[in-house]
């Protein structure tokens, strides 16, 4: 077996070369597309590792050109779902984020099979929605964590299909966003995307909402109305909080999914609908099945492709990039200048548990965009936005961090207005406070104060006179 590594990073090429050779693979290397084309003209290869950003072009474009006949593994440092989805769409066998797991590379070698002609043809087929998708829902599906990268791979593989997907995750993790992204990356992208929260509609109205009704079907039905299934015909229907659907409606939904037909409330005829169904819930459906609250047959009908979105607290490494993106989005929407998100502020964001997940983070970043008084977002600003000033997160600060934070906050208030003699000014702010603390601890005894501060007694006396501090007040 022979593999070609196309990457301008010598370090990446070296580690891949080593792992592949250990697996018994002959390895060729190229640092640019032109070099790769020459190599492929002289050698037949069974597997290609292809970087996205190369000195003389884009690896995605090279893959889409149809010039590569061997299975391709895309290598990328990108952390958004859009890259994964596009890689799979144009024919990549696998999408491997940097830094990659070496065991994954070994498994890829085991999986290599000759590429079907149909897959190679799909590379050159245009997708009119590819460029648009980067500015839509998927822009917020960001993550370098293993759990998110695994989710990207699943979404990338199923996005262009009509398979039913069951999205699970806590409230605020972005289940509807994932559903919209699947729609935007599918062949149905130009058709309707209809979303309905089944838990937000009273049970006696939900059937009509889903399937529609005929005129006179019930009190208040003064005209015929198409339901959500009919409205989504040709497109995608997203049923959020499916776990809260009443049992009688679960049976009717199952029948619609099996037959592809809907019958309006009060009607006698059924209508064929062509709908891709996506569903979501924050509940654990197997437990509801065990309690007799959810139909097992419906669960299996919905759970064709399971996608679980991890809570934000389980992927803290993704918080800095996500927070920065949400801040940029907020200031753009509000027409404001973007404040700088300081490292100390990011650190506190990463320590917060985010019970409201991405939705909570989005709201906090909007709050910070509007309420931050200075040019930078500090730890204090974040603590205030989170409503947890003085909590354990703040107490984790070292003395140096506290001094830095307070000094920076003061300078923000000052507006950095050509401050002069700043060193002496800050000393004069710190020295009297330190003297008073020492006097409190030593009960006004100047000899002990001098020992505590590491100063001689005469220096202590001079400082006390300078700042008009009377030791007798502390005895």
- The CATH number of the domain holding residue 344 is 1.10.8.60
Which pLDDT score is estimated for 136?
A: 46
Q: Is 70 exceeded by the pLDDT of residue 414? A: no
Give 291-340 pLDDT, tens digit per residue.
999 999 999 999 999 999 999 998 888 899 899 989 998 888 888 888 88
Categorize the per-residue pLDDT at 107 as very low, low, confident or very high, splitting at 50, 70 and 90: confident
Band of residue 409 on the pLDDT scale cut at 50, 70, 90: low
Q: Final residue of a domain: which of 100, 135, 170?
A: 135
CB 323: neighbour CB atoms within 10 A?
22
Q: How far is CA 135 from CA 132, 156, 190, 238, 352, in A?
A: 6, 17, 16, 21, 28
Residue 138, pLDDT > 60, answer: no
List of residues 6+ apart from 276 with CB closer than 8 A: 162, 164, 183, 186, 188, 235, 236, 237
User: Is residue 85 domain-shared with residue 183, that is, in the same domain?
Assistant: no
Residue 168 shares a structural domain with residue 295: yes
User: How many CA atoms, within 13 angstroms, populate the side-chain half-sphere of residue 108?
Assistant: 25
For the beta carbon of residue 390, count every other beta carbon within 10 angstroms: 8
CB 380 within 8 Å of CB 405: yes
Give residue 412's pLDDT band: very low, low, confident or very high (50, 70, 90): low
Mean pLDDT of 10-30: 85
Same domain, 43 and 170: no
**Do 317 and 311 touch, CB atoms closer than 8 A?**
no
What pLDDT, on the 0 to 100 scale, is given for residue 428?
82
Decide if 142 is inside a domain: no
Do 227 and 208 touch, CB atoms closer than 8 A?
yes
What's 285's domain CATH number?
3.40.50.300
Q: Are 106 and 19 in contact (CB under 8 A)?
A: yes
Is 141 part of any domain? no
Residues 247 and 206 in one domain: yes
Residue 274 has pLDDT above 80, yes or no: yes
Considering only 221-225, 359-363, 364-368, which range has the smallest mean pLDDT? 221-225
Tell how strand 270-272 and strand 261-263 pair up: antiparallel
* Residue 184: inside a domain: yes
pLDDT value at 211 more than 50: yes
Q: Is residue 292 part of a domain?
A: yes
Least confident of 25-39, 94-108, 257-271, 293-307: 94-108
pLDDT at 213 over 80: yes
Among 308, 331, 358, the domain-final residue is: 308
State the residue for tokens 């070099």.
Answer: 35
Domain hosting 442: range is 422-474
Whether 106 and 51 map to the same domain: the answer is yes
How open is the CA angle 132-133-137, to the nearest 5 degrees? 130
- Rounded (10°) angle between helices 379-386 and 343-351: 30
Based on the fold, state whether residues 41 and 56 are members of the same structural domain.
yes
Provide the pLDDT for residue 283: 92
Predicted confidence at residue 130, as pLDDT, reads 38
From the CB of residue 41, how many other CB atoms can be counted at a distance below 10 Å? 7
pLDDT by residue (tens digit) across 215-262? Answer: 887 877 788 888 899 999 999 999 999 999 999 899 999 999 999 999
Which of these, 356, 374, 351, 361, lies nearest to 329 by C-alpha position? 361
Confidence of residue 121 (pLDDT cuts 50, 70, 90): very low
Predicted pLDDT of residue 427 = 83
- Residue ranges of E strands in 179-333: 193-197, 212-213, 225-226, 236-240, 261-263, 270-272, 276-281, 305-308
| Domain boundary, last residue among 274, 308, 342 | 308
Q: What is the length of the chain?
A: 475
Beta bridge partners of 165: 278, 305
Question: Does position 405 have pLDDT exceeding 80, yes or no?
Answer: no
Whether residue 304 sits in one domain with residue 164: yes
SS3 (DSSP) at 166 = strand
- The reply to whether 79 falls in a domain is yes
Tokens standing for 390? 């003085």
Higher pLDDT, 294 or 440: 294
Return the pLDDT at 403. Answer: 73
* Structural domain includes residue 140: no
3-state secondary structure of 281: strand
Nearest in space to 19 (alpha carbons), one of 80, 111, 94, 100 = 100
User: What distance in Å separates the CA atoms of residue 3 and residue 24, rounded to the nearest whole number?
Assistant: 11
Question: What is the average pLDDT value for the chain, to the nearest integer?
Answer: 83
Shared-domain flag, residues 131 and 189: no
Question: Is-contact 25 109, C-beta < 8 A?
Answer: yes
Q: Helix 247-259 vs helix 203-211: angle between axes, to the nearest 10 degrees?
A: 10
What number is the average pLDDT over the span 193-216?
A: 88
Other beta carbons within 10 angstroms of residue 439's beta carbon come to: 24
Element (H, E) at 409: helix 399-414
Indicate if 247 and 224 belong to the same structural domain: yes
Domain count, the chain: 4
Is the same domain home to 46 and 63? yes
One domain, residues 164 and 301: yes
Bridge partners of 167, per DSSP, are 280, 307
Q: What is the DSSP letter of 391?
A: S
More confident of the two residues 396 and 320: 320
pLDDT at 225: 85
Give the Cα-Cα-Cα angle 35, 37, 43 (nearest 5 degrees).
Answer: 100
Residue 152 lies in a domain: no
Instruction: Give the pLDDT of residue 114.
Output: 42
In the chain, % of residues over pLDDT 90:
34
Alpha helices in 352-398 (DSSP H): 357-371, 379-386, 392-395
CATH number of domain containing 120: 3.40.50.2300
pLDDT at 129: 39
Residue 191 tokens read as 């058709």
Residue 380's CB: how many other CB atoms inside 10 A? 18
| Euclidean distance between CA atoms 47 and 68, whole angstroms | 10
How many other C-beta atoms are found inside a 10 Å radius of the C-beta of residue 241?
Answer: 18
Domain match, 192 and 268 both: yes
In this prediction, residue 388 has a pLDDT band, given cuts at 50, 70 and 90, of: low
Residue 153 included in any domain: no
């Amino acid at each position: 077996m022979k593999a070609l590594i196309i990457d301008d990073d010598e370090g990446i090429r070296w580690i891949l070369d080593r792992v592949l050779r250990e697996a018994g693979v002959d390895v060729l290397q190229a640092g640019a597309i032109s070099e790769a084309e020459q190599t492929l003209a002289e050698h037949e290869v069974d597997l290609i590792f292809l970087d996205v950003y190369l000195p003389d072009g884009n690896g995605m474009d090279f893959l889409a050109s149809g010039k590569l006949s061997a299975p391709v593994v895309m290598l990328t440092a990108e952390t958004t779902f859009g890259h994964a989805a596009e890689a799979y769409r144009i024919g990549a066998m696998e999408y491997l984020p940097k830094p990659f797991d070496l065991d994954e590379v070994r498994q890829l070698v085991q999986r290599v099979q000759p590429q079907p002609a149909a897959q190679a043809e799909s590379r050159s087929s245009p997708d009119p929605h590819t460029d648009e998708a980067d500015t839509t829902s998927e822009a917020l599906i960001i993550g370098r964590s293993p759990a998110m990268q695994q989710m990207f791979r699943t979404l990338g593989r199923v996005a262009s299909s009509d398979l039913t997907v069951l999205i699970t995750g806590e409230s605020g993790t972005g289940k509807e966003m994932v559903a919209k992204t699947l729609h935007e990356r599918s062949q149905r992208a130009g058709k309707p995307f209809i979303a309905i929260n089944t838990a937000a509609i009273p049970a006696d109205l939900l059937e009509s909402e889903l399937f529609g009704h005929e005129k006179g079907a019930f009190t208040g039905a003064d005209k015929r109305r198409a339901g959500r299934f009919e409205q989504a015909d040709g497109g995608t229907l997203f049923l959020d909080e499916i776990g809260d659907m009443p049992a009688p409606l679960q049976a009717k939904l199952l029948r619609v999914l099996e037959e592809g037909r809907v019958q309006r409330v009060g009607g006698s005829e059924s209508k064929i609908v062509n709908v891709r169904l996506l569903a979501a819930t924050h509940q654990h459906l197997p437990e509801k099945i065990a309690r007799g609250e959810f139909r097992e047959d419906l669960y299996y009908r919905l759970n064709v492709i399971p996608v679980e979105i991890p809570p934000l607290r389980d992927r803290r490494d993704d918080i800095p990039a996500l927070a920065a993106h949400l801040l940029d989005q907020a200031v753009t929407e509000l027409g404001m200048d973007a404040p700088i998100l300081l490292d100390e502020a990011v650190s506190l964001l990463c320590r917060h548990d985010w019970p409201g997940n991405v939705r909570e983070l989005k709201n906090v970043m909007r709050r910070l965009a509007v309420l931050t008084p200075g040019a930078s977002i500090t730890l204090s600003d974040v603590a205030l936005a989170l409503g947890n000033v003085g909590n354990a997160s703040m107490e984790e600060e070292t003395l140096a961090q506290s001094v830095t934070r307070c000094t920076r906050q003061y300078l923000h208030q000052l507006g950095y207005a050509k401050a002069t003699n700043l060193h002496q000014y800050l000393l004069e702010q710190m020295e009297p406070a330190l003297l008073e603390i020492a006097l409190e601890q030593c009960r006004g005894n100047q000899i002990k104060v001098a020992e505590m501060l590491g100063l001689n007694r005469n220096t202590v006396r001079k400082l006390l006179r300078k700042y008009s501090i009377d030791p007798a007040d502390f005895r």
